[in-house]
Amino acid sequence: MDILLTGASGFLGKHIYNELKTQANIITLSRSGSDININLDRDIPELNHLDLIVHAAGKAHAVPKTELEIRSFFDVNLTGTKNLLLALEQSPSLPNFFVFISSVAVYGRESGNNIDENTVLLAKDPYGLSKIAAEELVIKWCALNNVVCTVLRLPLLVGKNPPGNLGAMIKGIKKGYYFNIAGGKARKSMVLASDVAKLIPKVAKIGGVYNLTDGHHPSFAALSTSIARQLDKAKPINIPLWLAKIMAMTGNLLGTRAPINTSKLNKITSDLTFDDSHAKEKLDWSPTPVLTKNLVNSRYSS
């Protein structure tokens, strides 16, 4: 099988490549360091015949502050997807399978429990909106061209040297400035990047839209305690909710530079979990609990 993997240099892309490299011929595509070095948001690559497309390229882990930064989400996530599909149309033959890596951000929810794939997509932020538009584009294109389509909506990705909020948590615990709020009881969905990678060969041939989680949805307290133990650091301190609210109100006045404001506080103290029962029923999805893995040092390799 010939596979095109976009976003191959990214966090998830590296896990997918390591999982699939012994099973198939993988052609990697990213801005640099790949078989095909190209900016999909600007250019249309020339492609040969491919059996499977795994489109993991995308822009995330950033809060836009300008119109240009807002536009960049749509340039990368939507225009980049359009250019990839145009490239496939211009190739010798269309692929049989297409896997699109999306995000639970499409639901636009800041709180809730067991949100499933039938939930209305209400994202209003640039990242979520661009992912919704890209999902719709891919699903429509695959239907018109008789290509088996898979959309994977992923929560917080976990693995060695993670980006985003988890990476910031690990750094904060290592440096001693991370703290939990209101006991860190809020639960969040997350999933091992390696588990997602292992599922791709199977789900690609079946198709569908799926949430993927580890099925346990750890609390901030459980996650931070596990990381602290792995780092041989003291258990993170806890800040009571009343004090956090005062800090958040101060943050409201400081603007985007503040480490916490009312909006961020509400997210931190609210459950946000997603239902992956559809994947378990249709794909026999059996994820590894995140807290059973070493998340912070070189011994973590799976």
pLDDT in tens, 121-166: 999 999 999 999 999 999 999 999 999 999 999 999 999 888 888 9
Q: How confident is the model at residue 259 (pLDDT cuts 50, 70, 90)?
A: confident
Asked whether residue 255 carries a pLDDT value surpassing 90, the answer given is: no
115: tokens are 């949100």
pLDDT at 299: 38
pLDDT in tens, 59-77: 987 777 788 888 999 999 9
Lowest mean pLDDT across 59-63, 183-187, 203-207, 261-265: 59-63
How confident is the model over 103-112, as a mean pLDDT? 96
Asked whether residue 97 carries a pLDDT value surpassing 90, the answer given is: yes
Query: Token match 């979520």: residue?
Result: 128
Asked whether residue 256 carries a pLDDT value surpassing 70, the answer given is: no
Is the model more confident about 219 or about 248?
A: 219
Asked whether residue 297 carries a pLDDT value surpassing 80, the answer given is: no
Residue 59 phi, psi dihedral angles, 5° rounding: -110, 130
How confident is the model over 220-244, as a mean pLDDT? 93
Written as one string, the DSSP assignment of 265-302 is HHHHTS-EEE--HHHHHHH---PPPGGGS--SSTT---
Cα 92 vs. chain centroid, distance in angstroms?
Answer: 31
For the stretch 72-79, contacts whose Cβ atoms lie closer than 8 Å and that sit 24 or more positions apart, written own/partner, are 73/126, 73/127, 73/129, 73/130, 74/126, 74/129, 74/130, 74/133, 75/41, 76/40, 76/41, 76/130, 77/127, 77/130, 77/131, 77/133, 77/134, 78/130, 78/133, 78/134, 78/137, 79/40, 79/41
Domains identified in the chain and CATH numbers: 2-158+191-215+273-289 (3.40.50.720)
Is residue 179 within 8 A of residue 237, CB to CB? The reply is yes
3-state SS, residue 175: helix
Is residue 99 within 8 A of residue 196, CB to CB? The reply is no
3-state SS, residue 236: coil
Mean pLDDT of the chain: 93
Which residue type, as a one-letter code, is found at position 207?
A: G
How confident is the model over 164-182, as a mean pLDDT? 91
How confident is the model over 180-193, as a mean pLDDT? 95
